[in-house]
Chains A and B, each alone.
Chain A
Amino acid sequence: MIHARRTGLGWVFVLPFLLMFVVFYLGPLLAGLGMSFTDFRSTDVADVLGVDPVGVQNYIRLAQDEAMVKAAVNTLVFVVVCLPLTIGLGLAAAVALNSGIGRLPAAFFRLGYYLPHITSIIGIAVAWKFLLEPEAGLVNRLLELIGVQGPAWLQDQRTALPSIIAMTAWRGFGFDMVVFLAALQGIPRELYEAAEVDGAGRRQRFWSITVPQLRPVILFCTVYSTVGFLQFMEEPLVMTGGGPLNSTLSVSLAIWKQFGVGNYGYAGAAATVLFTVIIALAVLQLRIGRSR
């Protein structure tokens, strides 16, 4: 670390950004926080001060709101399943691409796998709806070939959330793959060579060298994905609208819907809780990840 001649100099580099940060994010964030303690609705936008403070009433309502509680459970399930899935797929793809195959094919596959991550959700939704369509969809047609009658994936309460999870993992693993690929290239070859001399098999080498060496990036992907996944919304919005019977409703989508019907105060309260949970989880993950 370098001590600038005047400590003020650091601020000079940071200040323009920070000013904008305060104006465009911190301010609005605090406004949202303040909003959550009032009965602010869309009808009050022209007269922001003309609202009544309601204390923590919005927060109490959250806990009593069936849909919100359901959304919280769904979000939790989503994160717990999707996180290992995405990281696992990303790692598998990265290891395969790094296993010494030609440079050009590797670049080609890399691009292909990364493609879903860089595409807007609209294009993806169109394609996936066709895949999952109960009768004409490709997935059920393939299942038919092996004599299984597939469910109406997105219309069945049991399969809707798993379908969304699969789609999100499909869409997101490319990012993890790229990060892992980058990290894999940084692992010294000598480690593997030494292990090979010692007679370690492929599996052993993977678990005793690759995984420990990748720990920092795995931690990064975990934290980064958790923050993103806890806010997942686009996928259910375009695929199911949160249904059937709220089985794919996420917290962010519920907030978005409340916002849509004009309950700004209530939406603000839900957002504040979500924000707090995300930060708490991220800090926790970092603590655990680094302490080991």
Chain B
Amino acid sequence: MSKAFAVLGLFDSADALMKAIPKVKARKLGRLETYTPYPIHGMDDALELRRSPLGGMVLVMGVIGALTALGFQYWISAIDYPIVTGGKAPWSWEAFIPIMFEVTVLFATFTAGLGMLLLLNKLPFFGHPVLSAKAMRAITRDRFALAVEADPELDAEAAKAALKDAGAQDIEVLDTPEQTPFLTSDFILRTLGGIFVACLVSGFVMFWAIKLFPVLPPMSHMQDQPRLSAQQASTFFKDGRGMRMPVTGTVARGYLPSATGTQEEATALPNPLPRTPEVFAQGKAAFTNRCAVCHGAIGNGMGSLTAAYGAKPANLQAQQFRDYADGKLYWVIVNGKNAMPGHAADLDENQRWAVVHYVRALQRAQNAKDEDLR
């Protein structure tokens, strides 16, 4: 003999059902549930059902969805691979909003759907015992059932008595059904295995179908695109070159042309950079790479290439060069002097001025004043 799952009391009207609820509830026999042909207003309050936690879950998951989308996009666009697209800064929150919205909705709806079905309604649940009740047909038509359900055990006799006292016309006892386990390890393994085999088979079929019947290639490979590689000739352009020249006057970002003019005009230029450790470090790096081979590591004109070069590089420690204005040193770096070539192509604006600062530091180091030594 199986245990009783529920005792159903059947009523002829919604009013009778509503009146019976508090009476049966007072006996505290088990969980109360009603089964009616149509929704009855006020039933939630009468049964004192707890407020569904679904709304809170959806809100929390929605916020998490928004933050997830924000985090993903911020990481991709601003940290991992920042590219300026359409003239927008990598961190442009405006562009993130639509995807944040979508992901919020995605998380929220999945939480609502799956949370309701799996967590709160405890699905999958294939056959509710009440569905096999004899009274079920009447319940879907014109009768109203109040069920006392096991929570976890049910005193069927007491429940029968309670329902009778509350005015139930008929009583029906439902037995606990035999429940078959659903999510066994065997079932999970077989499902996963089936999915794996299905993927494998469909992959092979697709691969060979494309190989053997290449009527409509489903994808074109990236190397097959109609474009020219670097240095290739073109029949499209008049000059026959595949690569296009930049428009006259084009200036690359961060490479402003040096507007030095004549030596006299340049001499008047002040050094725009501050004297900070970073600037000196930049100057030292540029000087070591570009200048030290001739001018020497301390700028005294005794570089390692001096002998091979055949010309005497300037001794920057000499009084003549210590008296040079910053702008004049800068002009020489850009345009060169005597045998020295101009370095405009090697050093950008900032590096040149940093080198000027560094040369000043070298000069001061070799001609230190008393207060420097203190």
- Chains A and B bind each other: no
Q: Which residues of A contact B (CB under 8 A)?
A: none
